[in-house]
Structure 1
């Protein structure tokens, strides 16, 4: 989790179970927390750019690519 969000409270979102499972797999593939994954997705919607963080290893990127192919 990013340091500037560390002290914030968690909020509940109501989404379907199947969607939540896919989102969790997607988050793990990117090696990010679910909050940071969702923030990246929102940023992508606004700015059109989703840049993986420097800490993402090549194997995580390959898993991500395999995930989006399926």
Structure 2
């Protein structure tokens, strides 16, 4: 995971998403979060990266559970 965020904040994000998506494995949620961080690692403006990562990971997990539902 890139050094865009502390390990503690990433762990808190994974915890929040694990509560929201109990059917998903924690390891899968953590890898989804890591992929979202990696996708934004070259961003010049880093202020909103944690918010964008959370939104992206939540959207991906939601679509895995309910593929035909609209974006959250």
Is the TM-score greater than 0.5?
no
- Scaled by the length of structure 1, the TM-score of the pair is 0.37
Structure whose alpha-carbon radius of gyration is higher: 1
